[in-house]
Amino acid sequence: MLPFTRPTLTEQDEQAVLEVMRSGWITTGPKVLAFEQALADYLGGDVTVRAFNSATSALEAVLLATGIGPGDEVIVPAMSFTATANVVVRAGARPVFVDVDLDSRNTDADYVEAALTPRTRAVIPVHFAGLSVDMAPLRDLAEHHRLLLLEDAAQAIGTRHAGRHTGSSGNPTCFSFHPNKNITTIEGGAVATDDAALIRRLERIRFHGIERNTDGDMNVPLWGGKMNLPDMHAALGLSQLARLDAFNRKRRKLAERYLEQLPVHDALHPPEGGPGHSWHMFCVRVDYGALGTTRAAFQQALADRDIGSGVHYPAMHLFGLYRSHGYAPGDFPHAEAIGEQTLTLPLFPGMAVEDVDKVCVALEEVLND
């Protein structure tokens, strides 16, 4: 069975983790500091990076650190993993959903501007599947309305746009290192920003609100949680980061092969490509209704041919939590169409080009069955 994703782990990664285990210091320490600096150097733009135990924690910490809370609204695309909106609810604010482009699955400044109200405090664009959002119009909009622009780059480590890495702009930008991402720390995340005051607040929120003076004396001036990344995870991240560009080159090669070899069929719609895409996922849309089938049956037919697949993602506003906020079917047609038709095909660096051909042959068989 060819899975839709698999982490690329080597003996080099194992050795990096083993060295930390044997060092006697396995929680947050020197490896986290090294990982943060290496990631900042990789991103460029004179940003500072702080590691977290997940991208979800990182997103939540930024909202808390910037004072987002009850009575505030945060604009979020209706097509993303549910964490993007859940953190807004966790902060006590209201997520305001907007639609996305049908092919890129990214939102844009026009959708966001139409959703602005006097209560809007922040916008969270999501770089879906590794394809960068067009950020310049969103930056202009955020500056004009004095909004926090918090980039959800959980799926976009290594993505480039206009010659720069996503995360180098200075806006707070959050990354994920979950095992299905382009590099992994098993679980983990990070925030990159050029705002020194925000970094200090994030450090307190990340670890119990603790501050220490130059003598090492401890104070807790504000609340903080427990969101730190252990050194064992950071050691794996350092090992993986050294190979990120190679991983992403392989992902692009596989994605380009998909775009060349996908069967031509009225019911099959490929994703949007583009320069700088890091191809975290390869998500097509399939019009199951036109084929007279269901997604579950279609996935089973692929599984019968030893092809795994995923669903990324259902439209968020249709989950029970967000229906309780007043959202309903029909609100965001593009997100709903994607949610109903999406299918994630295998894509990970350990695949061979021949694996892509195998998937495309299986797709053609199932589409024409």
Question: What are the Cα distances from residue 148, in Å, to 277, 329, 360?
Answer: 25, 29, 42
Nearest CA to 230 among 23, 12, 16, 30? 30
Is residue 27 within 8 Å of 231, Cβ to Cβ?
yes
SS3 248: helix
Read off the pTM.
0.97
Q: Where are the alpha helices (DSSP H) in 146-230?
A: 196-206
Active site residues: 181
pLDDT at 310: 98
Nearest CA to 232 among 31, 75, 93? 31
Average the pLDDT over 306-319 and give the result: 98
Q: Is the dihedral of CA 74, 77, 79, 84 positive or negative?
A: negative
pLDDT tens-digit readout, 213-270: 889 899 999 999 999 999 999 999 999 999 999 999 999 999 999 999 999 999 999 9
Average the pLDDT over 114-132 and give the result: 98
CA-CA distance, 16 to 228, in Å (whole number)?
19
pLDDT at 52: 98
Is residue 127 within 8 Å of 155, Cβ to Cβ?
yes
Query: What mean pLDDT value characterizes the chain?
Result: 97
Sorting pLDDT into bands at 50, 70 and 90, what band is 324? very high
Average the pLDDT over 165-174 and give the result: 97
Average the pLDDT over 85-89 and give the result: 98
CA-CA distance, 202 to 191, in Å (whole number)?
9
pLDDT at 115: 98
pLDDT at 285: 98
pLDDT at 253: 98
Is residue 3 within 8 Å of 349, Cβ to Cβ?
no
pLDDT tens-digit readout, 46-85: 999 999 999 999 999 999 999 999 999 999 999 999 999 9
Looking at residue 307, the DSSP 8-state letter turns out to be: B
Percent of the chain having pLDDT more than 70? 100
The domains found in the chain, sorted by start residue, are 11-241 (3.40.640.10), 245-367 (3.90.1150.10)
| Residue 340 CB coordination number (10 Å) | 16
Task: Using DSSP bridges, classify how beta strands 73-77 and 120-123 pair: parallel, antiparallel or unpaired.
Answer: parallel
Sequence-distant (6+) residues with CB within 8 A of 342 are 283, 284, 285, 311, 312, 313
Sorting pLDDT into bands at 50, 70 and 90, what band is 348? very high
Instruction: State which amino acid sits at residue 269.
Output: H
CA-CA distance, 254 to 346, in Å (whole number)?
10
Is residue 79 within 8 Å of 340, Cβ to Cβ?
no
